[in-house]
Amino acid sequence: MELNGEERRATTYCVTGASGYIGSWLVKSLLERGYTVHATLRDLAKSQYLKSKWRGNERLRLFRADLQDEGSFDDAVKGCDGVFHVAASMEFDISPDHANLDSYVQNKVVDPAIKGVRNVLGSCLKSKSVKRVIFTSSISTLTAKDENERWRSIVDETCKTPIDHVLKTKASGWVYVLSKLVSEEEAFRYAKERGMDLVSAITTTVSGPFLTPSLPSSLQVLLSPISGACLFAILSAVNKRMGSIGLVHIEDICMAHLFLMEEPKAEGQYICCVDNIDMHELMLNHFSKEYLCKVHKVDDDLEERQSLMKPKISSKKLRDLGFEYKYGIDEIIYQTIDASINFRFPTLDHRLKQ
């Protein structure tokens, strides 16, 4: 249910993590549609660059808040009709050789993830004005393999990655996966116990243009077959867990957040994915042939899988609710490469074939 112009002007939303890729674009989208926005950042100095990218600043208020500082979201959330909880830790890996690894993970990953969620939701509860919270989750919390390690034909919101599997395998990017799993689980537990309306938007690989002063990590991961970045291991790990790479355009993921905020029937979790593509196809058919990019050698595992039917990462639940995607895979890839070249991403530019 989309609000009209007058309703938008009377509506205030809070966006946590406003200096990040999704958060900054979500602030932009909300301001352009006439909403009043309370944006939180750990470091207000980072807002100076973004304020030049955001139009409608007269309806924007900035707040310093930290997930680990209890009560720091109180002022930002006060008087808001809804909260988009986008802020999250972006730590990907810890060396398995780390001394007292289990203790370190508990103290530095699990406990902070739980505390951060409780802080934000606690502020929402105290506000008395927040009607719904949209929690930004990640496809990293899902898996295309069943308990017997066989490929599923369809991946939906029920295909959770077991926490003990994450801790056992410690695949590339496992710290981020663990943090997202723990924080989402705690968010729903906390909300259910207190009668709060919480909905989760499960993002796939978000790509396209960006507002941030540096290249977002999701774009670095997607472009890693070209750039040769160490994040290629994360892309490979995602492909091995999901059988493909799910994609969604930055504008679509922000519109999905807003749609879920304002759709009365929304409940539970929703995968946001316009389509998924095998990494082999992404590298050889898009990056190499279409955009004439030099790519990493495709490993034997990928060669073997290209003849298999890839699991479908399903956004059926969100589509059935009435959401429509604007951008397909071809346009997402084109805009991602174009934005990164314009940004002069150094390890991308010199790898383009002449």
Of residues 28, 180, 310, 312, which has the active-site annotation?
A: 180
Q: Can you give the pLDDT at residue 303?
A: 43
Give me the pLDDT at residue 16, please: 98
**pLDDT of the residue at 96:** 63
**What is the reported pLDDT for 93?**
64
Q: Is residue 110 in a domain?
A: yes
88 inside domain = yes
pLDDT of residue 80: 98
Q: Is residue 136 part of a domain?
A: yes
What pLDDT does residue 95 have?
64
Local confidence pLDDT in tens for the 354 residues of the chain? 667 667 777 899 999 999 999 999 999 999 999 999 999 999 998 888 999 899 888 999 999 999 999 999 999 999 999 999 999 877 666 766 666 777 878 888 889 899 999 999 999 999 999 999 999 999 999 999 998 889 999 999 999 998 988 888 888 788 888 999 999 999 999 999 999 999 999 999 999 999 999 999 999 999 888 876 678 888 888 888 899 999 999 999 999 999 999 999 999 999 999 999 988 888 877 776 655 556 655 554 544 454 456 899 999 999 999 999 999 999 999 999 889 888 876 555 545 544
Q: Is residue 241 part of a domain?
A: no
**pLDDT score for 229:** 65
Tally of structural domains, the chain: 1
Query: DSSP secondary structure string, 185-230?
Result: HHHHHHHHHHT--EEEEEE-EEES---SSS--HHHHHHTHHHH--T
The one-letter amino acid at 280: H
CATH of the domain at 94: 3.40.50.720
Indicate whether 20 belongs to any domain: yes
* Range of the structural domain that residue 149 is part of: 5-207+247-275+310-326
Asked whether residue 188 is domain-assigned, the answer is yes
317 is catalytic: no
Alpha helices in the chain (DSSP H): 5-9, 21-32, 47-51, 74-77, 101-105, 111-127, 163-169, 174-194, 217-222, 224-227, 232-242, 250-262, 279-281, 300-305, 316-320, 329-342, 346-349
Residue 33 · residue 57 · CB < 8 Å: no
